[in-house]
Structure 1
């Protein structure tokens, strides 16, 4: 009984942290891209996030191996002697780099609440990649949930909400395109990384280290291509404030915590977390950015939350639900 209680408490802890990180990250990033006067380079923020995640992963691997000598031996085996594995993990590194940079573009042009709702399009993106890359099947209810989610996002985007306290010019269309690219990247990279994890017994932290090492190279190259001249002139950390470092810290924590959440929580809990993050982001956007809520936004958000819940139902519950619906449709109509 005690074990069950501890397990439940730990799952609730995971749920709470994941919700707060997701909601706070979008709101804080939105603040740094629309309210701060000196605009920092988004590419450098993405790069330094990869560095921090690598350091944290090394710390976790050190804890698991138990000694510095074992850590060095593990790194030599999986890094120095495994260039093919590094190359394999460079693919999701590149895709995640694009995704993270698109998040900055999206939140520079869309409110945090709108972003949080629209970003749930990662569910159909992930579903499609799962079917194509892992040969899994989705239930009828899950496919219906995917279409419901898309309808909800369309309602949210139908009549754009306005934020009265934003100090920069915005391009909602550019923001939506950026989210579209981000969700496609999220679906592919997530499923690809899952496939790599399950193809061998290599530690999760080792895989993370391989991916983050590639990620640092990819994002550093992105800094050079996109903002190289300005970074040389103004400095790598130009425009960084405590708020920017806060965003970088949340991104680093969120990236590592995702693996813990996937391991210890189920789809229902992740669905509730996403719905709670939408609510928190909406409230924060009203208070901080003067967001004006529309009826289409409320309707779309409710549809998205319902679809997330039904998509995450366990297969057993989904099968029962579909069986009951089928039997009901076969019943003859009642006499009037």
Structure 2
């Protein structure tokens, strides 16, 4: 299955959809959080609804995977109702992802979409560090170089951030940067933790998703109660919801699930191009929608981030093969000498 041939057209399709989803989510979320309106929706309810939709989609995918309602029922009973330890294990990334998603709403309330998109790429070095520490993997010298290059690019972007002129709410860039820093840490840890859990057994990806989203529903519902409980009771759960807000919830729901398809059928280089293209699209959209004024430091930093993403995704050199070749050369030289 992993080696099944995939056409270039399908790969480009996956790349295009992933890019559009990433850019559209960032810009649309920024738009919904910067409208000067007394009917601002509660971000905690949006995160909760997202978990519910993800759970429903995962159940649908599991039904296709099992092939029959009876088999799906038995699978759910075995891995969900009879495996409380597994549910507890998956509650860890559920909590972390819930924090990450809420931090994204806070960050985009205080940072422009383009600044957010560039800065959020710090998840790459964070994920790399977690991979080294938690999965005992190693990075090539080029990857480490690209990590430091990416950090330098983000520093330039934050050094003198681009300004927006059409935003109608008061912003706190420092608060936005703190929020995105927390989101980055959460993204790196939760992603690697979930990968470790997946590879520790042969349990289906969709079962693991269901376990995680069940925990996520409980966690995010608790977040609604603790953060906006009184306001939700007074104004209603769906207070302030517009078609744009529903669009954001939809993108957040399908984005994570669609990424798994992209990871399966494409490679790191294509994912790097996708991330870079999403940065460009977000920047262009911010210029027209939010009056973004691009500075030289922002442009330089964004270019550095895009290049570092590309370098990080380059395949590692097969050093073992080179070692064998060198050994063969030495053997031939010895034979000639003898």
1:28 corresponds in structure 2 to: 28
Q: How does 1:99-178 map to 2 (within 5 A)?
A: 99-178=100-179
- Which 10-residue stretch deviates more, 10-19 or 184-193? 10-19
- Given that 2:269 and 2:313 are in contact with CA atoms closer than 8 Å, whether structure 1 keeps it comes out as yes
1:187-238 deviations in Å (ceiling 9; x for gaps): 0000000001111111111110000000000000011110011011111110
- Given that 1:25 and 1:251 are in contact with CA atoms closer than 8 Å, whether structure 2 keeps it comes out as yes
Alpha-carbon distance between aligned partners in 2 of 1:7 and 1:75, rounded to the nearest angstrom: 35
Q: What is the number of equivalent residue pairs in this alignment? A: 318
2:18 corresponds in structure 1 to: 18
SS at match of 1:162: coil
- Given that 2:6 and 2:265 are in contact with CA atoms closer than 8 Å, whether structure 1 keeps it comes out as no
The RMSD of aligned alpha carbons is 1.6
1:7 corresponds in structure 2 to: 7
Alpha-carbon distance between aligned partners in 1 of 2:286 and 2:71, rounded to the nearest angstrom: 48
- CA drift of 1:6 comes to 4.2
Higher Rg = 2
SS at match of 1:237: coil
- Which 10-residue stretch deviates more, 5-14 or 227-236? 5-14
Alpha-carbon distance between aligned partners in 1 of 2:220 and 2:265, rounded to the nearest angstrom: 30
- CA drift of 1:160 comes to 1.7
For structure 2, the residue ranges without an aligned partner over 5 or more in a row are: 322-338
For structure 1, the residue ranges without an aligned partner over 5 or more in a row are: 321-336
- Given that 1:141 and 1:318 are in contact with CA atoms closer than 8 Å, whether structure 2 keeps it comes out as no
- CA drift of 1:5 comes to 7.3
1:334 corresponds in structure 2 to: none
Q: From the superposition, tell whether residues 206 and 82 of structure 1 become closer, same or farther in structure 2 (CA, over 3 Å).
A: same
1:282 corresponds in structure 2 to: 283
1:92 corresponds in structure 2 to: 93
- CA drift of 1:8 comes to 2.2
SS at match of 1:184: helix
- CA drift of 1:13 comes to 1.6
2:306 corresponds in structure 1 to: 305
- Given that 1:139 and 1:318 are in contact with CA atoms closer than 8 Å, whether structure 2 keeps it comes out as no
1:134-169 deviations in Å (ceiling 9; x for gaps): 000111111111010000001001112111110100
Return the TM-score normalized by structure 1. 0.92
Q: How does 1:227-306 map to 2 (within 5 A)?
A: 227-306=228-307
